[in-house]
A = this chain, B = another copy of it.
């Protein structure tokens, strides 16, 4: 049985299965966190440009933009998928090195709105997309992550699986949706190792490509069912020939959606263990910026490959600068939206702190990646003391999760400045009761 068929068999079973309350709860958390990421992303480049380009599509169709304007499903997926990744605050599934929400929820929402689906059906589509795509991401492994941006590549499967579920596809047609998605999957890491606007587009294209793949399958369009595991397939072309034999073994038993990481800071998640460690040391020892002579960060390799900007000049580069975010944490106490304003980019205190920070790869920490995202932080004070802290996980990781209340606070902090506090609170209530909602009207203005 090809991997596409393994997932298709599960999609067939999933139609009949009752979602248990805990899975449903986590699906709502994912939808809340997706919206928390969406709103601050709406005006980050390239979103205004993308909306200008799609102006002809806005105003027609049955899916919706966050402000309630109608739009066709594929355009909604492209726009909402990109926006949800643009502010770099969307969820992660750590073992797949992947932000599953951006494309998956965007695609599920677009098709659910187009079909007039219930809240529960929408949540089920989300769960299906997470369960399928995270498993593909895990199978592809670290070799895939060397060159590829999983949020673009693996995200295409999240979108396709969600959309296919909501279109009522199962069995062979579900498998064909995944097969077509596989050969649409794209997104290079190099696209964000230089300052550029590409990264959110990966999530948008993944959402749109996945929706198209599912819509094509619904029209009877076939793909190659061996496209994941075949000799010239996704696994060999884009990784080191992963083993697909066990890819579906825990489907329906171990729900990955229960083990998401929600970001507690804003920026590249690979920097968060270092931020948490630095904040922990400052708290424990009562350190102010002026007390710090030297900071040394030791973490896993990809963190430094990706959060690589030594001297960031733009908001984008700053989000991917280990030195900038750790310095910001130590100087200002948090790394949220305010961290990336032009004033902060030029902040002399942050720049002075950056000059005191070094970062290296720690082989032991690196060996535990991607299952663990750790950092060891050492601070030497101006009076010659040395303090060290191993931060084994990030606040927001499954081992150290945001509580529901913390998630609500994060959502309100990020949504309220964009849509107002009242609408943000109403939206939050509506998401928490989605499983009781006949439709999705409660999600838009």
Contacts and interface: CB of A to CB of B under 8 A. Distances in A.
- Which of A188, A223, A237 has the largest count of B CB atoms less than 10 A from its CB? A188
A416 interface: no
A14 to B, nearest CB: 24
A183 B191 CA distance: 7
Contacts of A223: 191, 196-198
A210 to B, nearest CB: 12
Interface string A186-198: 1111111111111
B46 A236 contact: no
B190 A231 contact: yes
Contacts of A196: 179, 222-224
Nearest to A156: B186
Interface residues of A, number: 59
Contact of A188 (B56, B72, B187, B237): B237
Interface in A44-65: 45-46, 49-50, 52-53, 56, 60-61
Contacts of A194: 224-227, 230
B188 A227 contact: yes
A182 interface: yes
Interface stretch (A212-220, A268-276, A321-329): A212-220
Contact of A227 (B190, B201, B219, B237): B190
B190 A221 contact: no
A202 interface: yes
Nearest to A60: B56
Given A190-B224, A231-B193, A237-B188, A216 B183 contact: no
Contacts of A224: 190-196, 198
Contacts of A197: 221-223
- From A49, A198, A238, residue with most partner B Cβ within 10 Å: A198
A301 to B, nearest CB: 13
A205 interface: yes
Interface string A219-254: 111111111001111101110000000000000000
Contact of A219 (B53, B147, B152, B212): B53
B146 A221 contact: no
Contact of A190 (B53, B180, B234): B234
A76 to B, nearest CB: 13
A187 B237 CA distance: 10
Contacts of A233: 188, 190
A136 to B, nearest CB: 14
B216 A53 contact: yes
B182 A191 contact: yes
A234 B187 CA distance: 9
Contacts of A45: 221
A184 interface: yes
A188 B232 contact: yes
Given A194-B226, A230-B190, A221 B49 contact: yes
Nearest to A153: B186
A191 B227 contact: yes
Nearest to A234: B188
A163 interface: no
A56 to B, nearest CB: 6
A49 B220 contact: yes
Contact of A237 (B147, B205, B231, B236): B147
A148 interface: yes
20 contacts: A146-B232, A147-B236, A149-B183, A182-B191, A183-B187, A183-B201, A188-B232, A188-B233, A189-B237, A190-B227, A190-B230, A190-B233, A191-B227, A193-B224, A193-B232, A196-B223, A197-B221, A197-B223, A201-B221, A232-B305
Q: Lowest 10 A-B CB distances belong to which pairs?
A: A147-B237, A190-B233, A189-B232, A49-B219, A194-B224, A183-B191, A186-B186, A190-B230, A46-B221, A196-B224
